Copies of this chain bind each other. A is one copy, B any other.
Amino acid sequence: MKNIILTAVALLVGISVHAQQVLGPGTGIVSPEINADNTVTFRYYNPKAVTVQISGDFLPSQKITYMMEGQERVWEAPGRADLVEHNGLWTYTSAPLEGELYSYTLYVDGQKMMDPSNIYQNRDIATWTNIFTISTEKGDKGWYYQVNDTPHGNVSKVWYDSPTLSMQRRMTVYTPAGYEKNTKTKYPVLYLLHGSGGDEDAWADLGRAVQILDNLIAEGKAEPMIMVMPNGVYFNQAAPGVAVNMFQPTMTNSRSQSTVEVENSFPDIIKYIESNYRVKKDKNSRAVAGLSMGGRQSAALSRKYPTMFGYVGMFSGVVPPEENDKALEAVFAAQPKLYWIACGKTDGVMANSLLLKEYCESKGYPVSFYESEGGHIWRNWREYLTIFAQKLFK
């Protein structure tokens, strides 16, 4: 409470944003606060606001009807709840939550804004949301997504030459804990691809891929592996902030030539990794997986280079039915150790995921299918990575 009063004073005198090196950090308000019973309290100070709401993926979702291109569409949006005001301080306490990573924003008099007291944020394409994690017991989802007191792998943002595309491109490389010390060990590699609008930062930031691998490896549930997260869009050399021009990221057509160019140049990525890291270079020491657009790319890469990857994962993969064709013969002739299709029950690409599964089964190709609750969301992709990584290189 002392902190909250202190903030109120700071706000009244108009202390601004650039003062951190002089006047101290933040708003002084604790928000969110995870309570002992796993409810979460959110706090926001604003004596002038008339309504303050919270929109978060831990609230029952709401259906929103809107017009797009002359058609009525329905979209399932995160639910909202009202905060209650007392002396200018607005608060809301959630129901008890399960272990998970959650995201939310505030709506102040109808206008979306970040919670100014929570520094933890994720960017998804061109939109920021606040995040927090809860773990109610070791081994739940929240536990795998948070940083635990385990050995940590290193994360590098590297530039590689792509002679195929005549450019330098950026990717994220995770090396597992112990990589520097075990100088004689060679590691298998998971190539992990983002979705439309994403970039080489997406899996590490939104996807918690670093925490998931650190925790799985520390628990002995996944083999120590290198994880490579390239930028899957030809016209994006790198993520926002490290690319020439401060561009606003946008969605990419998941079957555009821009994504195909990256598939065509994939050997440049593999060459860089296999030249600069201590890696095993056989098919069964290489996996490729991706979400949505990256799932389509993973399918396409396995068709294009059938002897390159021993493991293929399509997470809500946007695989069009016309690609359920003869090219799959070579994929399965090369006997992949795993061809894994995962999708959420309410995901718009479930129909196509099932068509791929059924086509493969009709041909006698061994595929694994994993169905989860929910739709085309990061919560599912984090879960799929957690499951998929445990199946690799064993």
Given contacts A17-B103, A20-B127, 9 further A-B contacts (CB under 8 A): A14-B77, A18-B57, A18-B77, A21-B124, A25-B127, A26-B248, A146-B244, A147-B241, A155-B157
A154 and B149 in contact, given A24-B250, A78-B18 (Cβ under 8 angstroms): no
B121:A128 contact, CB within 8 angstroms: yes
Chain B hits for A182, CB < 8 A: none
Q: Judge whether B66 and A25 touch: CB under 8 Å.
A: no
In the complex, the count of this chain's copies comes to 2
Q: Is A357's CB within 8 Å of the partner chain B?
A: no
Q: Are A25 and B120 in contact (CB under 8 A)?
A: no
A117, A127, A168 — most chain B CB neighbours (10 Å): A127
Cβ distance A286 to chain B, nearest Cβ, rounded Å: 21
Task: State the 10 A-B residue pairs at the shortest beta-carbon distance, nearest first.
Answer: A26-B126, A25-B126, A13-B66, A25-B125, A156-B156, A20-B125, A20-B124, A113-B113, A154-B158, A16-B77
Kindly specify which of A104-112, A227-235, A331-339 makes contact with the partner chain: A104-112
Whether A39 sits at the interface, judged by CB under 8 Å, is no
Per-position binary interface string of chain A over residues 113-131, scored 1 when its CB falls under 8 Å from any chain B CB and 0 otherwise: 1101101110111111100
Q: Are A119 and B77 in contact (CB under 8 A)?
A: no
Binding site for B on A (CB under 8 A): 9, 13-27, 30, 46, 48-49, 55, 57, 64-67, 75, 77-78, 103, 105, 108-114, 116-117, 119-121, 123-129, 132-133, 146-149, 151-159, 168, 170, 177, 180, 195-197, 210, 238, 240-246, 248-251, 276, 292, 376-378
Q: Quick check: B75 and A23 within 8 Å, CB to CB?
A: yes
Contact of A17 among B112, B146, B170 (CB under 8 A): B112
B152 touches A48 (CB 8 A): no
Cα of A119 to Cα of B114 in the assembled complex, Å: 12
Q: Which of A158, A210, A377 has the most chain B CB atoms closer than 10 A to its own CB?
A: A158
What is the distance, in angstroms, from A91's C-beta to the closest C-beta of chain B?
Answer: 16
State the Cβ distance, A315 to closest chain B Cβ, in Å: 12
